[in-house]
Amino acid sequence: MNAQSPRFSFTSDTIALKNDNDSKKSLFKVYKGSYTSIDQTVSKKAILGRYSQNDTETYFIPILPFQKNSHYTVVYNNEVFPFTLALESSYTHLQIQALYPNSDTLPANFLKWYVQFSKPINPSKVYDHITLINNRDMTKVDRALLPLETPLLSNDGTLLTLWIEPGRQKRDLGPNKRLGEVLIPNESYTLIIDKSLKDRQGIPMETDFKHSFTVITSDRTKPSITTWELQPPLANTKAPLVIQYEELLDYGSLQNSLHIVDLSGKKIKGKFTIQSNQNKIIFSPLNNWIKNTYTIKHKPIIEDVSGNNLERLFDQDITITKVPPILELSFSIE
């Protein structure tokens, strides 16, 4: 709040003016920026918002909340009243909580990361803050990530998908043939998310996020659930069923892609937890397990980190006959 403005009070979504005899006659205007004279505001557009009045105060409610640590100026009765809303010292800055996959080795035809942020991020120009560096000469890998003007963010704004440029990962497409795949086997790289990335209040992160990894040969085999290991729980307990697998699987494709039925086909209520960075899926039942034979049903869209799913390879060779995928795994509880 600004000391020069005893009659005004400022919050991020309202400016209130104590009424005097003039208040009913003229409204105040608000400009972005700090100005010391009215002349400086003449060529500027006032901030859009709505006004309301009661007996004691006049209010301005901007369409968007005022940003923290930014300068604004109120113009009222030929006077200027600059103000700034300070960021609270207790403010919790944006952080990266998880990267999926976070493996330190990735196949050359690796397709996408998911970045889990601690709170919703500013969706504008997200990809400008993200680079891939080749560790050999610390140079930026050109055209590595798909630059979408609308970023692929979950509805709550906290989970960002980063696609490796798909045109370069698809065999035989122009970019693949001319530039090759983005990632070269035996080279190592660092994904950097710059701290300049902001949250929805316009406040940046405090530190850069870095993740280094080494590239191995491309994965051109479909994942198969037949190699998954189950640790069945005991009957009459609510112990979780733990599914362990060896191959790196895609975090996003595992969400909502499994369910469990008993012999009669009845769906078992409970919750799946995807721990793809630990190669693990955990199912916690709502009710006690009873002795029965159960089947885990999988959607064919479950894919590995190279975009090969249970049913088809990311770039399917259409000269090879398709084999139907195995989508069910059974286990018994004794």
Partner 1 sequence: MRKILFTMALGLLLTPLFANTSITDGFITGNPEIGSINAMTFSPEGVLFIGDSQGAQIVAIDMSTAPKATNEKLHIPDVELLLSELLGADSDQLQIVDMVVNPANQNIYIGTQHSSGKSILFLVNNNSLEMVPLQSVSYTTSDVSNAVAPEAKDRRGRSLRKWAISDIKYANGQVMLSGLSNAEFASTFRAIPFPFTQKQKASSLEIYHAAHGQYETASPIKAFTTTQINNEPHLIASYTCTPLVVFPLSELKSGAHTKGRTVAELGNWNTPLDIIEMEKEGARYILMANTNRALMKIKVADIESFGDSLTTRVPERADTAGVDFINLPFVNVQQLDKLNDTEFVFIQREASGKLALKTSNNRWL
Site for partner 1 in 30-59 (CB under 8 A): 30-32, 44-48
Task: State the CB neighbour count (10 A cutoff) for residue 304.
Answer: 26
CB of 133 to partner 1, least distance (A): 18
CB 144 within 8 A of CB 164: yes
**According to the binding rule CB under 8 A, does residue 178 interact with partner 1?**
yes
Distance between alpha carbon 60 and the CA centroid of its chain, in Å?
34
CB of 154 to partner 1, least distance (A): 5
CB 19 within 8 A of CB 36: no
Could you say which residues in the range 285-304 bind partner 1, by CB under 8 A? 301, 303
Closer Cβ to partner 1, 2 or 214, answer by number: 2
Tokens (6 digits) for 239: 């112990």
282 burial level (CB within 10 Å; 0-12, 13-18, 19+): middle
- The piece of 3-11, 171-179, 186-194, 240-248 that touches partner 1 (CB under 8 A) is 171-179
- The piece of 2-10, 84-92, 101-109, 147-155 that touches partner 1 (CB under 8 A) is 147-155
Closer Cβ to partner 1, 114 or 294, answer by number: 114
**According to the binding rule CB under 8 A, does residue 156 interact with partner 1?**
yes
Among 7, 14, 65, 331, binds partner 1 (CB under 8 A): 65
Among 147, 240, 285, 325, binds partner 1 (CB under 8 A): 147
CB of 94 to partner 1, least distance (A): 11
Could you say which residues in the range 183-212 bind partner 1, by CB under 8 A? 198-202
CB of 236 to partner 1, least distance (A): 25
**According to the binding rule CB under 8 A, does residue 72 interact with partner 1?**
yes
**String of DSSP letters for 154-168:** -TTS-EEEEEB-HHH
Question: Kindly report the CA angle at 167 between 182 and 274, in degrees rounded to 5?
Answer: 75
Among 63, 86, 138, 286, binds partner 1 (CB under 8 A): 63
**According to the binding rule CB under 8 A, does residue 14 interact with partner 1?**
no
Could you say which residues in the range 208-237 bind partner 1, by CB under 8 A? none
Task: State the CB neighbour count (10 A cutoff) for residue 226.
Answer: 8
Round to whole Å and give the CA distance between 206 and 88.
Answer: 15
Round to whole Å and give the CA distance between 261 and 263.
Answer: 7
Closer Cβ to partner 1, 70 or 134, answer by number: 70
Could you say which residues in the range 73-92 bind partner 1, by CB under 8 A? none
**According to the binding rule CB under 8 A, does residue 240 interact with partner 1?**
no
**String of DSSP letters for 99-159:** EES--SEEETT--EEEEEESS-B--TTGGGGEEEEETTTTEEPTT-B---SS--B-TTS-E
* Phi, psi of 113, deg, nearest 5: -110, 155
- The distance in angstroms from the start CA to the end CA of the chain is 68
CB of 293 to partner 1, least distance (A): 26
Among 105, 174, 208, 328, binds partner 1 (CB under 8 A): 174
**According to the binding rule CB under 8 A, does residue 131 interact with partner 1?**
no
Distance between alpha carbon 93 and the CA centroid of its chain, in Å?
16
Could you say which residues in the range 257-286 bind partner 1, by CB under 8 A? 271, 273-274
- Per the DSSP assignment, residues forming a β-bridge with 284 are 271
183 burial level (CB within 10 Å; 0-12, 13-18, 19+): buried
CB 314 within 8 A of CB 111: yes
Q: Spell out where 118-158 has E strands.
A: 130-134, 139-140
**According to the binding rule CB under 8 A, does residue 256 interact with partner 1?**
yes
Among 159, 193, 281, 310, binds partner 1 (CB under 8 A): 159
CB of 160 to partner 1, least distance (A): 8
